[in-house]
Amino acid sequence: GENVEQHPSTLSVQEGDSAVIKCTYSDSASNYFPWYKQELGKRPQLIIDIRSNVGEKKDQRIAVTLNKTAKHFSLHITETQPEDSAVYFCAANDYKLSFGAGTTVTVRA
Amino acid sequence: DTGVSQDPRHKITKRGQNVTFRCDPISEHNRLYWYRQTLGQGPEFLTYFQNEAQLEKSRLLSDRFSAERPKGSFSTLEIQRTEQGDSAMYLCASSSLGDGAKNIQYFGAGTRLSVL
């Protein structure tokens, strides 16, 4: 089955700086890579996703890059704000998502 | 709220008791998923339905667990003879697989189970 590893487990950044989270996956057949944000006590919410036929996707301050050859993908958040503080999960596969262990992002004001 | 809803939000039970959780997906979503999330970890896939058919079950889903989606709408997850190791957040998600649909999974807020 798919195995997704996520780094770092915690990330503290100064407001306005960028944050980068990296994930690797094992199954070369995986073709869908979503990122979810989960605030304490709330549901995971999709923030951005990318499919295997695209190398990069951007949505305002959030971008995701995918390297299928190396089997890794990354989330980039620019101009971080306090409301970006949350746990972020990467995932891979299509109907049966395999999640990373999560990254706790803290944005310092 | 027209999102995925789960009931109850919290459940405390004694070891050995049976519990049942309910998930109401987004209307007209034909796929429904159950995941389990323990503290400090990402969600782990348990099972999923397409309409009323249960198409796949994870090896995490022991024979004490059973899930149903009898009419292709809401789903229930039952755990029999609960054990302390069953304590976790149980998340439900739904998606729409069809023409033009991207099969994006939308999650509910989960049911937190505590087994004493």
The proportion of chain B whose per-residue pLDDT surpasses 90, expressed as a percent, equals 83
In what helix (H) or strand (E) does residue B88 lie, and over which residues does it extend? strand B88-95
- Any A CB within 8 A of B56 CB: yes
pLDDT in tens, B8-57: 999 999 999 999 999 999 998 999 999 999 998 999 999 999 999 999 99
Is residue B19 within 8 A of residue B113, CB to CB? The reply is yes
**CB proximity list for A48: less than 8 A, separation 6 or greater:** A34, A35, A57, A59, A62, A63, A64, A75
d(CA A91, CA A13): 23
pLDDT tens string A51-102:
988 899 999 999 999 999 999 999 999 999 999 999 999 999 877 899 999 9
| Mutate: best of A50, A97, A103, A104, partner B, most B CBs <10 A | A97
- Tell me: pLDDT of B100 over 80: no
Among all residues of chain B, which has the CA nearest to that of A10?
B40
* Partners of residue B103 in chain A, C-beta under 8 Å: 32, 94-95
